Amino acid sequence: MDFGLTEEQKMVQDMARNFAEKEIAPYVEEDEENHYYRREILTKMGELGLLGWSIPEEYGGNGMGWMEAVTALYEIAKVHTAWRLSISGNCWGPAMTINEWGTEEQKQKYIPDLVSGKAVGSFAMTEANSGSDVGSMKTFAADKGDHWLLNGSKMWISGGHASDLGLVYAVTTEGGGPKGLSCFIIDYNNTPGITRIPITKKVGMWTAPTSEIVFENAMVPKENLLGPVNKGFQICMWMLNNTRMGCATGAAALSAACLEGSVNYANERTQFGQQIGKFQMIQQQIAEMKLEDDAAKYLVYRAAWLKENKLPSQQATSMAKLFGCNAAVHAANMAMKIYGSYGYSTEYPCGRWLRDAKQFETLEGTSNIHMGIVAGIELGYQPNR
């Protein structure tokens, strides 16, 4: 595996970096303070093709794959990790899943708006009592002949109340567990019976909308079933193996942001007549951060390379996500120490880094779940998809 960037990939990297510095960086602190989701950034991402990775050009895709995608996302998430959710919420979630499992009519109807940024996308699995155990969800879709009737609620849905369309996973065969779930495409703007409640009391990710979604006799057209009935669990696991790349890449990028900020601060701050970077304890912290940061980044590239070459990637994706979240949390902790009292001040980004890092340990599979996936595949208890 050669992870040296091609000239085209370097152009993608520069474009994403310039976009993040110009369109995201100036508003980070203001939007954090106001817990504000700047919708126009998603539109601009779509206009630049930053939402069209691994999507056929006939549906608006950008003609590029996983390696270019993680390279671009890394630059965006390094500036503000909350914006990595847009690529998962629009591209690697709904758009890619519809492209894999959808009918031609569904592909033409929904994918272009997702990859252009015209629509905000989302996917809803988690419920108040159903997180890691996806098969235990209670939201139910009843077959009413000419439509499905959806009842239940979803919790902690990224993009939720801002979403225009998304995927919702629900029970279609009562008592069937994982074999009784199906996936539906939901048009949130034109489906009565849906209430979306913003979740504002969060430790971090303040600029990313998160919601509870309640379905009360929501009528879903028959043609909005994605894939076969009762294949929802299979579709969901396939999707998660893609969207978890967003978590892995975002975590690695956050680790890099912490390292870069800590190096700059260690070279600027002086104590006892010298830069604090000259003290061995600070050097040890920087060295630990550098080792973990590089490892996290290369695990992301390895998983992306496997996906690009259509090779089994589930274990590699879980490894990248698991190690990346550990690296991000450790780097954020180290940054807080290196910055000293200023790290505890909102003048500096250390608090945001630490708040945002912690969510990687639970989002899209807890660290325990990913530990189990990595070990289970290694022990031969489950296949490496």
- Tokens 């199906």 correspond to 182
**CA–CA distance, 140 with 123 (Å, rounded to integer):** 16
**Cα angle 320-157-96, degrees, rounded to a multiple of 5:** 60
Residue 146 DSSP label: S
Give the CA distances from residue 26 to residues 20, 38, 42, 252, 258, in Å, rounded to whole numbers and listed in that order.
9, 12, 15, 22, 18
Q: What are the two backbone dihedrals, phi and then psi, of residue 274, each rounded to the nearest 5 degrees?
A: -150, 165
**CA–CA distance, 228 with 307 (Å, rounded to integer):** 24
Q: Which sequence positions are flagged as catalytic? A: 364
User: What 3 state SS string does 171-198 have?
Assistant: ECCCCCHHHHEEEEEEEHHHCCCEEEEE
Q: Which residues contact 290 (CB under 8 A, 6 or more apart)?
A: 259
**Cα angle 281-332-241, degrees, rounded to a multiple of 5:** 130
The number of residues in the chain equals 385
**CA–CA distance, 157 with 123 (Å, rounded to integer):** 7
Q: Are 59 and 111 in contact (CB under 8 A)?
A: yes
**CA–CA distance, 248 with 66 (Å, rounded to integer):** 13
**CA–CA distance, 144 with 158 (Å, rounded to integer):** 29
Q: Are 242 and 96 in contact (CB under 8 A)?
A: yes
